[in-house]
Chain A
Amino acid sequence: MSGVDLSLQIGSLKLRNPIMLASGTVGYGNEIAEFADLNKIGAIVTKSLSLNPRKGNAPQRIIETPAGMLNAIGLANVGVEQFLKEKIPFLKQYDIPLICNIAASTIEEYVECTRILTTEDAIKAFEINVSCPNVKEGGLQFGNSCQMVSEITAKVKAETDKPVIIKLSPNVSSIADFAKAVKDEGGDAVSAINTLVGTSFNIFTKRSKLKNVTGGLSGPAIKPVALAKVLEIKQKVDIPIIGIGGIMNWKDVVEFMIVGASAVQIGTLNFIDPYASERIVAELEKYCVENGINKISDLTGSYIL
């Protein structure tokens, strides 16, 4: 035992360490569990769930870009009912807090999904996706409106006693205004950032490479943007932030925490190195030992300007 305290708390959600697996990059946990020991990870966030199953977008769904990738999966998922029946039992074998990510086309659907899922004890918190760039209805049209984000936060909070985290879009002029809206309505934390809207065209056929035309940019290419958004929120709003965007190693985690993140999510990296999250936890602990940090939460917002 190193004696370093890696734990933290967001509302009633207790995490043994700040490393979470990001929604949409670990499915419902079963594939990633073949690589990483889920009992050592801070938390897992499910693939976005909607009330009914969604087929998702036609291919091509993925394009590699310099130091990143564009995806337009289109929220393919099994729906809440099948999730509870078929997917939760697997995750219950592990000692890992389960956070359900919810994506919906209407405010009523967010509320209904929360109402159904909150009865399941294994689910410890909700992450509300108001910022998916790849669906026609809902998604970004919610994430671009402060009023909508306020309303969704209030209504979801009214439906559950569990912590509610709102996943914010970077595709807005002032992300701090959205974080403030979440705080004002009783939201417990914000996740920042979801993907950036991007596209890519074939110069010979002049056609978009993604069937959906646009997709969400992720990977190390977006890390500087994500860091700036986290810092902006930290400076203006007193709410826990879960930092997301292009984390490739423990150094990136430390950087996110310094600019204001209480915890972080590993996303695209899971596709490339499915062992990475477990390794990063160990490396983070080593960093703390070597730098005399007794409590990792002391790092949060420790930036010097």
Chain B
Amino acid sequence: MPLLNAIVEKSIEIDNKIFLLKVYSPALTANVKPGQFINVRVSETIYPLLRRPFSVCDVEGDYFYLMFNIYGEGTKILSRKEKGEQLDILGPLGNGFNIDGDFDTAVIVAGGLGAAPFPFFTRMIDKEKEVLSFIGGRSSHDVITYEMKNVSVATDDGSRGYHGNVIALLQNKIDELKSKKIKMFSCGPSAMLRALKTFAIENNFECEVSTECAMACGFGICQGCPIESTQHPDKYLLVCKDGPVFNVKDVVI
């Protein structure tokens, strides 16, 4: 996991204050897998001090993309990066999704910015495998379907697609899901991941989730990002090093 000098190509606002940063870094794109992340130093100064973790949203040749909204000072600075600026990144970090398993259909379940890792995922998954994308949000403004395939949308307020949460939408399609050999892949708010865990276990669906937690280093030394393990309750797993992608059965969400 080297420290890499990457070069910003452009920053694009795709929709509703959702930004894509396109960055040149052959060293990263040669090694990164869907679901892995990088830790970005957005400023050379001491404010903001810490790096910011982002999952790699997509890869095109020597370029990769990050997807983010403006949440605080760090993302504000990132959104203003201009072509040619150096970007200090650490990565690829963590474990990505296991996309090569014995399944015919990848069922993506994403909430809000949890959509971020899935354009790359969709690009990299075996062409023989089917991809179904279930995208949830509070309202149509929170729904991100960028570069996703076979999209079904659920919104809490009914402003787009199914009126209800994305797990209820999955429940509605249970017969279709059960007729296929599926594996679920998910990223999004904790409440959604919790509900998905119950849904996946009840229906005996294999399911991997990408988790998140505040962290300082991203490679295991700060111990800042613990997540409760179901198998070893006496010690925590670390989101950065043991995850961020886990089999949903292995972690308490």
Contact between chains at A220 and B217 (CB < 8 Å): no
Of A27, A59, A67, A271, the residue contacting B216 (CB under 8 A) is A271
Of B47, B213, B226, B234, the residue contacting A67 (CB under 8 A) is B47
Smallest Cβ-Cβ distance to A270: which chain B residue: B221
Contact between chains at B214 and A27 (CB < 8 Å): no
Quick check: is A31 within 8 A (CB to CB) of the other chain?
yes
Query: B48-74 toward A: CB 8 Å interface, digit per residue (1/0)?
Result: 111100000000000000000000000
Contact between chains at A60 and B223 (CB < 8 Å): no
Of B90, B213, B214, B223, the residue contacting A56 (CB under 8 A) is B223
Query: B125-164 toward A: CB 8 Å interface, digit per residue (1/0)?
Result: 0000000000000000000000000000000000000000
The smallest C-beta distance from A225 to any residue of chain B, in angstroms, reads: 15
Given A34-B1, A62-B214, A68-B49, A274:B224 Cβ within 8 A: no
Query: A29-40 toward B: CB 8 Å interface, digit per residue (1/0)?
Result: 001101100000
For this complex, 10 residue pairs linking A to B, each with C-beta atoms less than 8 Å apart, are A25-B221, A26-B221, A27-B223, A34-B219, A55-B236, A270-B217, A272-B216, A272-B217, A274-B217, A274-B221
The smallest C-beta distance from A139 to any residue of chain B, in angstroms, reads: 16
Q: Is the interface of B mostly helix, strand, loop or mixed?
A: loop
Chain A: interface residue total (CB-CB under 8 A): 37
Smallest Cβ-Cβ distance to B213: which chain A residue: A59
| Docked CA distance A34–B3 (Å) | 10
Contact between chains at A275 and B222 (CB < 8 Å): no
Smallest Cβ-Cβ distance to A34: which chain B residue: B1
Contact between chains at B3 and A62 (CB < 8 Å): no
On chain B, the residues within 8 Å of A271 by CB distance are 50-51, 216-217, 221-222
The interface size bin for chain B is: 20 to 34
On chain B, the residues within 8 Å of A95 by CB distance are none
Q: Is the interface of A mostly helix, strand, loop or mixed?
A: loop
Chain A residues in the interface with B (C-beta under 8 A): 24-27, 31-32, 34-35, 47, 53, 55-64, 66-69, 71, 73, 76, 219-220, 248, 268, 270-275
On chain A, the residues within 8 Å of B222 by CB distance are 25, 62, 71, 73, 271
Of B41, B221, B234, the residue contacting A53 (CB under 8 A) is B234
On chain B, the residues within 8 Å of A68 by CB distance are 49
| Docked CA distance A26–B217 (Å) | 10
The smallest C-beta distance from A15 to any residue of chain B, in angstroms, reads: 21
Given A56-B226, A59-B227, A69:B219 Cβ within 8 A: no
| Docked CA distance A25–B223 (Å) | 9
| Most chain A CB neighbours (cut-off 10 Å) among B47, B225, B227 | B47
Given A55-B236, A272-B41, A73:B224 Cβ within 8 A: yes
